[in-house]
Homo-oligomer: A and B are copies of this chain.
Amino acid sequence: MESQDLKNAGLKVTLPRMKILELLETATTHHLTAEDIYRQLLDQGEEIGLATVYRVLTQFEAAGLVSRHHFEGGQAVFELERGRHHDHIVCIQCGKVEEFVDSTIEERQKVIADRLGFDIKDHSLIIYGECRNPKCKGKAGAKRGK
């Protein structure tokens, strides 16, 4: 029950927060922009402001409920934080996002940071490519239609 997640995070259980959390949990695409979320909630008849979506997402991020990524293209994307760290590979044609973890890469990063005299705190690895999905080229949604 997601209302418990909110309470655990010390956040009051309100309609907008519930709806946003719900959407993040059930949406088929797991990486959404604030605008994506805003539009989908409007479409499903909710009355919500874009500013609230941003505020709530920022609070969720601070609470560790979601993580924010900066893929190319201006808008930040948000995803539910499910505890397991991972990196991303993004299709520059259709926008598809896959997640992966590679222990070798993780390990090498530690070695590199250490060699350069840094205490590693975080990292961001994004691979950009073209997916070989036949439906990819020309698939809608690639450029987040205005």
* A contact residues vs B (CB 8 Å cutoff): 70, 72, 89, 91-92, 98, 100, 102, 104-105, 108-109, 112-113, 116-133
Contact = CB atoms under 8 A, between A and B. Distances in A.
A65 to B, nearest CB: 20
B112 A118 contact: no
Nearest to A111: B102
Contact of A128 (B92, B123, B130): B123
Contact of A127 (B89, B92, B113, B117): B113
B122 A128 contact: yes
A127 B123 contact: yes
B124 A125 contact: yes
B113 A108 contact: no
Given A132-B118, A132-B119, A133-B117, A127 B112 contact: yes
Contacts of A70: 70, 72
A117 B102 contact: no
A1 B121 CA distance: 41
Contacts of A92: 121
Contacts of A113: 89, 127, 129
B125 A123 contact: yes
- Per CB-CB distance, the 4 closest pairs between chain A and chain B, nearest first, are A118-B129, A120-B129, A122-B128, A123-B127
